[in-house]
Structure 1
Amino acid sequence: MTGGISVAEYLFRRLREAGSHAVHGVPGDYNLRLLDYVIPSGLEWVGNCNELNAGYAADGYARIKGIGAIVTTFGVGELSAINAIAGAYAEMAPVVHIVGTPNRSDQDNGVKLHHTFCRGQPGDYRIFAEMYEKVTVAQENIVDVATAAAQIDRVLRECLLQSRPVYLQVPMDMVDAIIPGTPLAQVFDLTPAPGDARLEQEVCDAILDRLRTSSKQFILVDAGTPRYGLTSQTHELIKATGFPTATTPFGKGIVDETLPNFHGIHGTVGPHTFTSYVDSCDLVINIGPAHSNVNTYYFVTVPKPEVTISIERDAIHIDGRTWNVSPQGVLQKVLESLQENPLAKPTSYPELPNLHQALQSLPPVDPNAKLTQDTFWYRMSSFFREGDIVLTETGTASNGSRDFVLPQNTALINSGIWLSIGYMLAATQGVALAQRHLTQSDHPLSNGRTILFEGDGSFQMTAQELSTIIRQKLDVIIFIINNNGYTIERLIHGPQESYNDVASWRFLEAPSFFGAEGADSSYPVYTARATTWGELAGVLGRDEMRAGKGLRMVELMMETMDSNDTLRLMLELWKSKKAE
């Protein structure tokens, strides 16, 4: 397009070109005209129940599609969403937050408008933007037609390249402003600046030297790997070297768990214990590290720096030295060298666990016995299939998911840094929509299911988004673990305290309350409750659960203080460290 185009149409067309096919949000009087352009620009509008949930949903969408978007109104709307945007920042999710703001003249004159502090100061209109500077990697305020296109392109580019949220203000009187459409004729350029080939080769040589001179090696994959665009190269490296490999809890689902040299999660307790092995290695390749306390078993599993090659977004650290280089370029050189001159395959490592063997060796359960978390998470692995996206809420579900044994081409979404409970239900709406938007592609997740594991307390945080799932007719399976409150908090402190209680809801009536019409509608709903292993087996064996469409909700009745061994032992470790 070489003629003129409105700011709003340019923005949303660029957003679609960047990869998002949907916009989440809540209407408000400062963004209504902006929203008029969403659908005509080829995007799907998803109106959420509140801005916090919209932010969570956009985050979930972004983790599957590579970019998500939320539109809020100035002040009250954007501040309601800031927790979600902060979480996206902490956990590296590329979300574009678009804020409709008052007219430029009102802002310049400090007019006492609603959603402001009404102090009559022009600076009041920058206060919320200043807050967002702390939780976004790029910010722009569209106030000039001469620079609008470049500003929009800049924030979208930074969002994608840095895999973190960005912030864009659009005043009401700029929405329809006409700007040149010439940039739309050019493909949106996401190519990073070319690296220093000489420096990249130097780092490549240093890595190859460590690969060939080390005698006991280990690869640790963490959550930054897909955020830095390193997933495919990481898989090639794992296969090319044959080195024993594990993920962190936050990195689970990134690595193909059917690979013979994959050994689960690097942990310190339960079935994930092989820290002594890793500590004995003279080379650890740590890709995409995210060293939070919960992701490293309270820092016990952080590799020793003196033996570690640490690969981050813009730097590689080896033997205490840092090279500021693109890891993509370096890893490609390493892989090409290994293809020409392969490493000798390492011998077997019998001391490391084999997840698939452990799953197959589980003893049968008494069908009349009550559900318990000690083996529940292992046994649920048989329900998963290729293409599934599995979400696990912070708490017992997230910790339990460490025991999942995942098929090829599945994805796991959990929280390893922000841990804002309630995130997962709203994120599930975004994930399910993103998965629907993949159906016309050859993406490995395009034909799978969206499956959520959520605690009863967490569900109550963002329960309204079940109505959005229903209204959008999204295909979702939800397992609600009803254990009478905040079990994760009870295990940490106050097992009998009332502040860890939640209201007793009739969860399986929620679909009806939130607008589902029943099993005979175009959007089928199936609900069930399981208290015993036999009841669970009957539910999981139904066609509706294995291959059905619509909403499927299963309430799992479990004891209040029940958890898997990994969580219990990890919390004991944490308490002992606090006492030191």
Structure 2
Amino acid sequence: MSSEISLTEYLFRRLRSTGLRAVHGVPGDYNLTLLDHVVPSGLEWIGNCNELNAAYAADGYARIKGIGAIVTTFGVGELSAINAIAGSYAEMAPVVHIVGTPIRALQEKGVKLHHSFCSGLKRDYELFAEIYAKVTVAQAELVHVEDAPGQIDRVIREPVYIQLPMDLVDARVPVSLLERELDLMPVVNDVALQSGVCDIIVQRIMSAKQPSILVDGGTSRYGLSKLTDALVKVTSFPTMTTPFGKGIVDETLPNFHGIYATVGDHDYASYVNGCDLIINIGPVHSNVNTYYFATVPDKTVTISIERDSIQIGERIWKISPASALDQVISKLKSEGVPKIESYPALRNMQQTLATLPTSNDSSEKFAQTNFWRRMSHFLRSGDIILTETGTPSMGGRDFVLPQNTTIINSAVWLSIGFMLPATQGASLAQRHITASESESQHPVAHGRTILFQGDGSFQMTAQELSTIIRNRLDVIIFLINNNGYTIERLIHGPEEHYNDVASWNYLEAPSFFGGEDTSLYPIFKAKVRTWGELDGILDDPKFHSGKGLRMVEVMMDMQDCNDTLRLLLDIYKTKKG
């Protein structure tokens, strides 16, 4: 066995060691030789229709598998992907973006190469990396083979950007370097300091008279989901999530009360405002995630668990949140948490589920006021559910989720069109988990991938339906056809033509995108206008438990939305005015 491997194989094998099993991207002349190393390194190559879609797909893959990767070519390719990479950065999805760049000597001389600005300056080859430095956590420009492996090891952990010049693709590095342990979450931890902070947290928990736990999207990104679930169980404190945190906590627990809002069915403001302790885990305080900042916890009573620190009141300690939470939970289990008898009546999600009708008037047309909660009965343990920005994302807040489900939504970047490619990535990740015996206990290992998407957002990235078909992924799509950009109509211009989209024959898309031979890849498609029509499909085993692509076009009124969105838009218009 050779004592050396190529630098590119080193990079891909390092990525594989973190859990990656597939690389998304688009070939280009500056990355072709780089792509030769993907499959030999034990990874699957997923060629996408364009770089933006590839980055969206890598993001969806990362949210399930823990890491995603995309390869593009220099200049035109990487800039096409930057919107999606910025979204990964904003929402903390760990995507590694690898860019194949021209030969180093040509860059140094500023040679006028295609995909550059052809100014004749070396500066042409530095600009794009500078742009990416603003939307990635770390960057590595691989220039010297001697230190390139160390640079790779340094950056593989977050949304990162790696430039690999063509003349370094086959450069040799010692294979023994792969034996070095990767430190994916470096946190300098002072044991004595951590113990002191944990004592403070335990004391606050023990003495609380009206406590609550608020779980946000950072919880899963920081690897705190299991610890958070344990904390919710050991304390029995009333627990809520933000929209971005939905699905992280077991919604079947009696002390789980849904999304914390100041409007509608989840208006828990009177309870939370009276709390003497709020444990806020993984906070992401965007306007959309906090009902225009109405649900940001009072700092004076809050313990905030961040990525690499814990804040109590105004004081911040730089310690490992995971290690600290583990210690706190151990102490609480050994000492026991005093039971509080006088919680106000907060409705838990199982009480909500019990009120949802299991059958529908067969002639009744859909209305978003009740559609989303009724669809909760279709969901089951292990499912990955994706809700596109717009009416599906807002509607998805009404879902009552079974145990061990994962919901992917957006509460920061809100780039419409994201969810179809992300569905491709998430379904692929689910396949890779299912195929891995070592990960057989993963919650989504035997579930379904289900997308809820509007017609306008589908038109943004529709080409990725072909990638789903090409890779024979098992996906369910509910396409909400409400004749345009409904959420934009509700914000402004309900009748304006700029909120219209072309009228597509959506159910012809699978055939156009290569899904003609249903003997190789099953395709189920239907258009529904009433609950009776939809119920017939939902009850069909070929649909709810089948394989292949199952696509249902759900016809809804143009300006229909759920109550949550109407209330949120009222707040938005008040703030704007």
The residue identity in structure 2 corresponding to 1:126 is E
Secondary structure class of the residue paired with 2:78? helix
Q: Which sits farther off after the overlay, 249-258 or 330-339?
A: 330-339
Question: Which of 351, 369, 372 pairs up with 2:367?
Answer: 372
In the superposition, relative to structure 1, how do residues 38 and 247 fare at CA in structure 2: closer, same or farther (>3 Å)? Answer: same
Question: Which of 553, 565, 569 pairs up with 1:571?
Answer: 569
**How many angstroms apart in 2 are the aligned matches of 1:349 and 1:379?**
29
Question: Which of 328, 342, 346 pairs up with 2:340?
Answer: 346
**How many angstroms apart in 2 are the aligned matches of 1:165 and 1:186?**
22
Q: Which residue of 1 aligns with 2:260?
A: 266
Question: Which of 220, 225, 240 pairs up with 2:234?
Answer: 240
**How many angstroms apart in 2 are the aligned matches of 1:449 and 1:102?**
42
Shift of 1:535: 0.7
Question: Which of 212, 227, 242 pairs up with 2:206?
Answer: 212
| Unmatched tracts of structure 1, length 5 or more | none
Conserved? CA contact 1:524–1:549, under 8 Å: yes
Secondary structure class of the residue paired with 1:29? coil
Conserved? CA contact 2:254–2:350, under 8 Å: no
Question: Which of 327, 332, 335 pairs up with 2:321?
Answer: 327
Q: Which sits farther off after the overlay, 359-368 or 529-538?
A: 359-368
Shift of 1:93: 0.4
Shift of 1:189: 3.8
The residue identity in structure 2 corresponding to 1:494 is G
1:546 aligns with 2:544: yes
Conserved? CA contact 1:24–1:55, under 8 Å: yes
Secondary structure class of the residue paired with 2:253? coil
Conserved? CA contact 2:271–2:344, under 8 Å: no
**How many angstroms apart in 1 are the aligned matches of 2:355 and 2:155?**
51
Question: Which of 163, 171, 179 pairs up with 2:173?
Answer: 179
The residue identity in structure 1 corresponding to 2:388 is E
Secondary structure class of the residue paired with 2:412? coil
Conserved? CA contact 1:375–1:564, under 8 Å: yes
**How many angstroms apart in 2 are the aligned matches of 1:571 and 1:190?**
40
**How many angstroms apart in 2 are the aligned matches of 1:313 and 1:186?**
25
**How many angstroms apart in 1 are the aligned matches of 2:298 and 2:504?**
48
Secondary structure class of the residue paired with 1:260? coil
Q: Which residue of 1 aligns with 2:462?
A: 463
Shift of 1:522: 2.1
1:3 aligns with 2:11: no
Q: Which residue of 1 aligns with 2:106?
A: 106
Q: Which residue of 1 aligns with 2:270?
A: 276
**How many angstroms apart in 2 are the aligned matches of 1:567 and 1:153?**
44
Q: Which residue of 2 aligns with 1:34?
A: 34
Q: Which sits farther off after the overlay, 1-10 or 317-326?
A: 1-10
The residue identity in structure 1 corresponding to 2:414 is L
**How many angstroms apart in 1 are the aligned matches of 2:424 and 2:521?**
15
Shift of 1:366: 1.9
**How many angstroms apart in 2 are the aligned matches of 1:362 and 1:95?**
38
Q: Which sits farther off after the overlay, 191-200 or 22-31?
A: 191-200
Q: Which sits farther off after the overlay, 407-416 or 331-340?
A: 331-340
Conserved? CA contact 1:237–1:335, under 8 Å: yes
Q: Which residue of 2 aligns with 1:513?
A: 512
Deviations 1:136-168 (A, max 9, x none): 111111111111111111111xx2xxxx31000
**How many angstroms apart in 1 are the aligned matches of 2:142 and 2:426?**
30
Q: Which residue of 1 aligns with 2:155?
A: 155
The residue identity in structure 2 corresponding to 1:38 is V
**How many angstroms apart in 2 are the aligned matches of 1:491 and 1:247?**
26
Shift of 1:188: 3.3
Deviations 1:155-183 (A, max 9, x none): 11xx2xxxx31000010011011112221
In the superposition, relative to structure 1, how do residues 119 and 191 fare at CA in structure 2: closer, same or farther (>3 Å)? Answer: closer
1:434 aligns with 2:433: no
**How many angstroms apart in 1 are the aligned matches of 2:326 and 2:498?**
53
Shift of 1:307: 0.8
Q: TM-score, normalised by structure 1?
A: 0.97
Identity among equivalent positions (%) equals 66
Conserved? CA contact 2:26–2:49, under 8 Å: yes
Conserved? CA contact 2:38–2:45, under 8 Å: yes
Conserved? CA contact 1:2–1:182, under 8 Å: no
**How many angstroms apart in 1 are the aligned matches of 2:564 and 2:295?**
15
**How many angstroms apart in 1 are the aligned matches of 2:342 and 2:178?**
54
The residue identity in structure 1 corresponding to 2:284 is A
Q: Which residue of 1 aligns with 2:66?
A: 66
Conserved? CA contact 2:210–2:343, under 8 Å: no
Q: Which sits farther off after the overlay, 424-433 or 510-519?
A: 510-519
- For residues 375-524 of structure 1, what are the structure 2 equivalents within 5 Å? 375-439=370-434, 440=436, 441-442=439-440, 443-519=442-518, 521-524=519-522
Secondary structure class of the residue paired with 1:123? helix
Q: Which residue of 2 aligns with 1:122?
A: 122
**How many angstroms apart in 2 are the aligned matches of 1:338 and 1:224?**
23
Conserved? CA contact 1:2–1:185, under 8 Å: no
Q: Which residue of 1 aligns with 2:530?
A: 532
The residue identity in structure 1 corresponding to 2:280 is N
Q: Which sits farther off after the overlay, 327-336 or 78-87?
A: 327-336
Conserved? CA contact 2:187–2:308, under 8 Å: no
Secondary structure class of the residue paired with 1:526? strand
Conserved? CA contact 2:5–2:172, under 8 Å: yes
**How many angstroms apart in 2 are the aligned matches of 1:12 and 1:329?**
30
The residue identity in structure 1 corresponding to 2:328 is V
**How many angstroms apart in 1 are the aligned matches of 2:276 and 2:343?**
15
**How many residue pairs were aligned?**
572
**How many angstroms apart in 2 are the aligned matches of 1:260 and 1:490?**
38
Q: Which sits farther off after the overlay, 377-386 or 1-10?
A: 1-10
The residue identity in structure 2 corresponding to 1:346 is I
**How many angstroms apart in 2 are the aligned matches of 1:541 and 1:350?**
39
Conserved? CA contact 1:257–1:405, under 8 Å: yes
**How many angstroms apart in 2 are the aligned matches of 1:406 and 1:94?**
25
